[in-house]
């Protein structure tokens, strides 16, 4: 395995000092046109590429961002990987993936820190609040993606976050369902302690309450496809059925629609209206045409990158950015009248 040439070897061939070759590859460093060309020529014939690891050791910037996720079943997250990775690549950063279950979360942080990452984005509702704090304590910029710092004052003041306006989104869903005349409205929850679920449900409940309508029934799907199916069966057991369900995310909403139609023989939206959250690509597929709340991955990623940069500069305070969201109506909610 021929390892790549070193700056030393390039210097020798180009008849300049090693410093000169380093400068040639450092944007903004001062090298004469002549030296630069000699170096470039030599580099080319030797196939030279600066060793990013050695560079990082001395500059103290690895240009690596850790991305921590716990499950990719929900298509929302692959989209995040794609957009975030592309956006970061354009700026010379790269994404190091960490897949973490709830259990092995502590070890993950240790690994991340060993790589001297320049930042961490935690993009999963399923991560322990503890890990978030640990990261922040390490002094590495952290931005929580699609989740909010836990209630401890410490986390709030040391960690940035970007979420969409889950509370507002929950409200909009309740308003829509009420406007369409629904009164027996069920809620299918995700992970109960996740901030996404908490906020969506809070907004949803507020509006229902204000209208004097109680949540008709409630079950928990933990953001899992299979458990959401179970939860749907619960919701639609008994003689008196809901006439609408708000499901805490699209991934579960699709599971719910499958059960409703295939198992229970109910029609959507004629018998039941269904609303999701996220607007994953599958929500617009012909078989589902799910009415949902759109979270803009693009906007969220953009905010994340900006927050990362902010925190890499000294003396900036963490911020919690909230991205507006909106309802996209398709065919899973019955029409007015």
Partner DNA sequence: CTGAAAGCGCTTACAG
* Chain contacts with DNA (rule: CB under 7 A): 3, 6-8, 16-20, 22-23, 25-26, 29-32, 34-36, 48-51, 54-55, 57-59
Please state at what angle helix 297-312 crosses helix 76-90, rounded to 10 degrees.
Answer: 50
Interaction between residue 282 and a copy of itself (CB under 8 A): yes
Residue 94 interacts with which of DNA, a copy of itself, none, CB < 5 to 8 Å by class: a copy of itself
Query: In whole angstroms, how close is the CB of 95 to a copy of itself at the nearest point?
Result: 4
With CB under 8 A, what is the number of residues at the site for a copy of itself? 57
Residue 235 interacts with which of a copy of itself, DNA, none, CB < 5 to 8 Å by class: none
Sites for a copy of itself among residues 141-200 (CB under 8 A): none
DSSP state at residue 239: S
Interaction between residue 61 and a copy of itself (CB under 8 A): no
Q: Give which of 182, 237, 234, 242 is closest to 208, Cα–Cα.
A: 182
Strands (E), 159-210: 160-164, 185-189
- Do residues 39 and 10 touch, judged by C-beta distance below 8 A? yes
Instruction: Return the number of the residue (32 or 152) whose C-beta is nearest DNA.
Output: 32
Q: What is the CA radius of gyration of the chain?
A: 25
Instruction: Return the number of the residue (92 or 238) whose C-beta is nearest a copy of itself.
Output: 92
- Do residues 222 and 229 touch, judged by C-beta distance below 8 A? no
> 3-state SS of the chain: helix, strand, coil percent to 5?
45, 15, 40
Residue 79 interacts with which of DNA, a copy of itself, none, CB < 5 to 8 Å by class: a copy of itself
Burial zone of 3 (CB within 10 Å; 0-12 exposed, 13-18 middle, 19+ buried): exposed
| Residues 80-119: x where in contact with a copy of itself by CB under 8 A, - otherwise, as a string | -xx--xx--x----xxxxxx----------xx-xxxx---
Query: Could you say which of 73, 91, 152, 316 contacts a copy of itself (CB under 8 A)?
Result: 73
């Amino acid at each position: 395995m021929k390892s790549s040439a070193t700056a030393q070897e390039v210097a020798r061939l180009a008849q300049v000092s090693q410093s000169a070759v380093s400068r040639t590859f450092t944007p903004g460093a001062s090298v004469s046109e002549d030296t630069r060309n000699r170096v470039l020529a030599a580099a080319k014939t030797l196939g030279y590429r600066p060793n990013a690891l050695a560079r990082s050791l001395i500059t103290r910037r690895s240009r690596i961002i850790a991305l921590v996720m716990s499950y990719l079943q929900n298509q929302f997250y692959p989209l995040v990987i794609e957009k975030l990775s592309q956006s970061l690549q354009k700026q010379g950063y790269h994404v190091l993936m960490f897949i973490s279950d709830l259990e092995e979360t502590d070890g993950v942080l240790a690994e991340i820190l060993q790589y001297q990452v320049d930042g961490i984005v935690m993009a999963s509702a399923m991560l322990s609040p503890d890990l978030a704090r640990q990261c922040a304590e390490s002094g590495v910029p952290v931005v929580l993606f699609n989740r909010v710092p836990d209630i401890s004052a410490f986390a709030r003041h040391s960690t940035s976050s970007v979420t969409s306006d889950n509370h507002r989104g929950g409200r909009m869903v309740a308003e829509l369902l009420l406007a369409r005349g629904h009164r027996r409205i069920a809620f299918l929850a995700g992970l109960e302690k996740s901030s996404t679920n908490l906020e969506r449900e809070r907004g949803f409940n507020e509006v229902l309450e204000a209208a004097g309508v109680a949540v008709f029934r409630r079950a928990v799907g933990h953001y899992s496809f299979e458990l959401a199916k179970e939860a749907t069966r619960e919701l639609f057991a008994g003689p008196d059925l809901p006439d609408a369900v708000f499901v805490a995310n699209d991934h579960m909403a699709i599971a719910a629609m499958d059960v409703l139609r295939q198992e229970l023989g109910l029609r959507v939206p004629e018998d039941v209206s269904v609303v999701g959250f996220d607007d994953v690509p599958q929500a617009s597929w012909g078989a589902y045409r799910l009415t949902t709340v759109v979270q803009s991955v693009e906007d969220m990623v953009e905010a994340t990158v900006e927050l990362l940069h902010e925190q890499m500069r000294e003396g900036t305070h963490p911020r919690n950015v909230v991205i507006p969201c909106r309802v996209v109506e398709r065919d899973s909610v019955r029409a007015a009248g």
